[in-house]
Amino acid sequence: MTFQPIGSKMQVVAIGGGGGATCVLHAVVSFAASRSAVIAVTDTGRSTGLARQIGAMPAPGDLRATIAAFAGDRLMAEALNHRFDGAGVPALEGMAFGNLLIAALNRLTGDFATAIEHTARLAASTVRVLPVSTANATLCAVLADGTRVEGEFGVRAPGKPPIARLFLHEPADAYAPALDAIRNADLVVLGPGSLWTSVLACVQFTGVAEALAECRGTVAYVCNSTTQPGQTDGYRCIDHVRRVVEALGPGVLDAVLINASEPDPVVLHSYAEEGLHLLRPDDDEIASIRMLGVMPLVRELVREAGPRRALWNKQDTIRYETEALGTALYEIVTMKGAHNG
């Protein structure tokens, strides 16, 4: 892989769900000349699921949230994220206006990517927001006991056997401009976010793993701060990294960023009661990660655990501090650049 001289402005691509990609792209603003988000489209959440039915389209929710997070027009950002209270129309309770807008534009233009592009333009988004695919795909999984589950909600449901394998109900191609962005990036960041239903879900689309292998720059994975019920129960950091390496193929993932800080014990206890356990690697895990051909970078990423967010049928987790994440990501690309030089 080639690398631009250290200190030059870079093209950065974040891959995954809306929350993780937003976190990464905010973090790299000081050293990125251009920022692009390649966003998962297999969500079946409440508002997103209904919008998918209305528009017969891929999941718009994470794309809408990402556009709103980088909107230059603040009123438009609030409008995109505005949720109806269902007064008089119970079916609309919790529906985000932006999801309806994307569904309408999809119907009018006949093209999901065009609908996303128009929405980003209306909001004056400062980053390029791309769907990983324009296919209306269904995420599926085979569990450890051989059971097959369909739909993103089923894949991430808690209380089931561990996920053994992820796949799409029908094979689908990735969106060509998203693949081009990945290939031409100086830094591609997968995660943080749901390992199976955001990060690995994106890799299921034909062409994504190949584009990452062809990427001219550094490919990095940001490991989550905690385990996630229904997806990574009992996982360690090495288990997360191993799953990503298996999905991408050998020699593709250059580095992994792992949190080393430990929040207040009271905060940790409250998360643990909900099945979310802090991820901190030991020396054996670090050695095992290196044996996979991946450079581990363990840094303090959590400065202070903020207020909990109310998420529909999901659990909030310990979030990374923007400046700390940006510093660590820059360290990854400079270390890789120095090594290549």
The answer to the question of residue 224 being in a domain is yes
pLDDT along the chain (341 residues), means of 10: 53 96 97 97 88 92 97 97 86 91 96 98 98 98 97 95 98 98 98 97 98 97 96 97 98 97 83 90 97 97 63 65 96 72 43
Q: What's the pLDDT score for residue 160?
A: 96
Q: How far apart are CA 310 and CA 313, in angstroms?
A: 9
Q: What's the pLDDT score for residue 4?
A: 46
Domain range for 301 is 10-40+173-340
Ranges of H-type helices in 28-111: 46-55, 61-69, 74-81, 97-109
The answer to the question of residue 159 being in a domain is no
The answer to the question of residue 36 being in a domain is yes
Q: How far apart are CA 235 and CA 96, in angstroms?
A: 33
The answer to the question of residue 165 being in a domain is no
Are 301 and 328 in contact by the 8 Å Cβ rule? The answer is yes
Q: What's the pLDDT score for residue 21?
A: 97
Q: How far apart are CA 295 and CA 188, in angstroms?
A: 15
Q: What's the pLDDT score for residue 341?
A: 43
The answer to the question of residue 3 being in a domain is no
Q: What's the pLDDT score for residue 15?
A: 98
The answer to the question of residue 285 being in a domain is yes
Q: How many domains does the chain have?
A: 2
The answer to the question of residue 233 being in a domain is yes
Q: What's the token pair of residue 183?
A: 């290939």
Q: What's the pLDDT score for residue 265?
A: 84
Whether 316 and 278 map to the same domain: the answer is yes
Question: Which among 71, 91, 126 is the end of a domain?
Answer: 126
Q: How far apart are CA 266 and CA 204, in angstroms?
A: 38
Q: What is the CATH number of the domain that holds 265?
A: 3.40.50
Whether 72 and 198 map to the same domain: the answer is no
